[in-house]
Amino acid sequence: MKWASSVVLLAGLLSCNRPLNTSQTDSVASRISPLIASGNQEAILDHFEYPETTDVERSRDRAGVRKLLSILYSDFGSIEQMSRSKSLPNALDLLVAPGTVEQLNRKESFKRYIYDAKFTKYGDGYVYIDVSKRLDGKFGLRSVSFALPLGRSETAGRIRTTSQRMIETLK
């Protein structure tokens, strides 16, 4: 089955294969983080790097990412506070990115920005913003993840419930 957008359930942190230009990735992350904090999903969609596809496929990808972001904000709640994290969290996250898992894995280098976040429904958690180099040579949004700490008893159930909703949406 081909999905319009990928949904990947990950534990922990992904690493970069090659270092990226920090000032350029920092600039992208600083532009995108306020959009994520404010819940401006349409503006977030504009910053994603979409795979090289036809206009119809890109439109489908965009619609899929829109639905998945909507589920994340619906389940986690809006973000009351968001600031750069000073530590590496031990968390379960739900990642949203355009394209397929295979296309996402082909992006060899990215830089992950980790933010502490306070969600209105799920409380303390994290937002991950992954920035990668686009096909046109500029830097853009590779993926966005919402995460919850592993130390809380309700984390696994909440992540499972949200991921099931996301997967059902893409069928």
Tens-level pLDDT at each residue, the chain (171 residues): 344 444 444 433 344 434 556 788 888 899 999 999 999 999 999 888 877 778 888 888 889 999 999 999 999 999 999 999 998 899 999 999 887 777 777 666 788 999 999 999 999 999 999 998 877 778 889 899 999 999 899 999 999 999 999 999 887
- Two structure tokens written together for 85: 């994290």
Whether 162 contacts 72, CB under 8 Å: yes
DSSP 8-state assignment for residue 158: H
Tokens of 159: 């992540």
| Domains, the chain, ordered by start | 5-11+20-170 (3.10.450)
- Residue with structure tokens 């590779």? 142
